[in-house]
Amino acid sequence: MMQFYQRRDFGSLISDTFTFFKQYGKNYFKNFIVINGLLIILMIILVFVFYGRIFAQAFEGNIEGQNYFFEQYIQENPMLFIFSIVAFIILMVGIGLVMYSFPVLYMKRVSETGDSNIKPDQILGDLKRIIPKFLFFLLGMIFIMLPIMFVIFGITALMMIIIIGFLLMPFVFPILVNVINFVLYDYYHTNRGFFGSLSYAMRSQFSYPNANQGSPFWKYWGSTLIMIVIYYVISMVFSMIPMLLMTGTASIVPTEEMASQMASGNFFSSPMGIAFFVIQIISMIVTMVLMNSIYVNAGLMYYDSRTDLHRKENFNEIETIGNSEF
């Protein structure tokens, strides 16, 4: 069984991320699919219904030379537009709650219980209990972290004029990802409030609680950077397939015919349109699944930072071994 609360070097943070999925992956993704299944289906329906409509309106506007086809469409269908916005916001909050909280709650339960056969109803119970915390976390991200991130990325973008910004972006981005992930892990694992967890998340990037233990900064930064690169490379492959499919279609099907299909809404019922839609959905699902590797890696870094619990974990392990001998 994997030991969670322990010191890990850079190599162990990467390798233990894959070890986690090797040991718990079957149960992890079984719960992931069961819990996220309904939300994913709703998202697919929402994308299918409105994706086609937006494409149809865009091509219809281009054919007829209209410059404000979106504004006209909204004016003609105000209730549909409002309903779609409200449904989209509710769905995104629900997906955010489950997608972002699931890895944290799963690792928390496994690390505390040692159970490798977690049931969906256990995770669902945990999700229901942390809804208020998640909403506070969401508000904190919107009103505190987002403005800070805009300022940091704004300064970085301006510095791209003198080339330095291109070097700062891959340096700054993993740090911000780590801080956000640490906030949620600490918020769910402790009784601290949002600001207490935010303070811990920022401090833990640069030092352990005991100053004599050195700084974990570079291994945290490097580990997250590696996982982000892996995520983007794989997700980019899947996201480029629909683009290549559309490009290939445009070279085979005359532009006028394709535009006519788009405007009439028949494109998405054609074999090429169905293939485009299916690949787009697969790309979205693959991206959602890949994000779990970044969250699990962040969890291992968080457990590495909690040196106050390392001795407790070691004592529990020794006690378990002693009990198993009798």
Q: Which two tokens stand for residue 303?
A: 């457990």
Cβ(10)–Cβ(217) below 8 Å = no
Cβ contact 277:51 at 8 Å? yes
pLDDT tens by residue, the chain, 326 residues: 789 999 999 999 999 999 999 999 999 999 998 998 877 787 777 766 665 555 555 555 544 545 555 566 667 667 777 777 787 788 788 888 888 999 999 999 999 998 889 999 999 999 999 999 999 999 999 999 999 999 998 888 888 777 777 788 889 999 999 999 999 999 999 999 999 999 999 999 998 877 677 899 999 999 999 999 999 998 888 777 766 766 665 555 555 555 555 544 555 556 666 776 777 777 778 888 889 999 999 999 999 999 888 866 554 554 444 444 43
CA 37 to chain centre: 16
How much is the pLDDT for 88? 76
Domains of the chain by residue range: 10-311
In the structure encoding, which two tokens stand for residue 159, read together? 């510095």
Give the number of other CB atoms < 10 A from CB of residue 197: 22
Closest by alpha carbon to 98, among 67, 147, 131, 71?
Answer: 131
Query: Does the model's pTM come out above 0.75?
Result: yes
Tell me the two tokens of residue 106: 């799963």
As a residue count, the chain comes to: 326
238: tokens are 């899947």
Structure tokens at 45: 């329906």
Asked if residues 71 and 279 have their Cβ atoms less than 8 Å apart, the reply is no
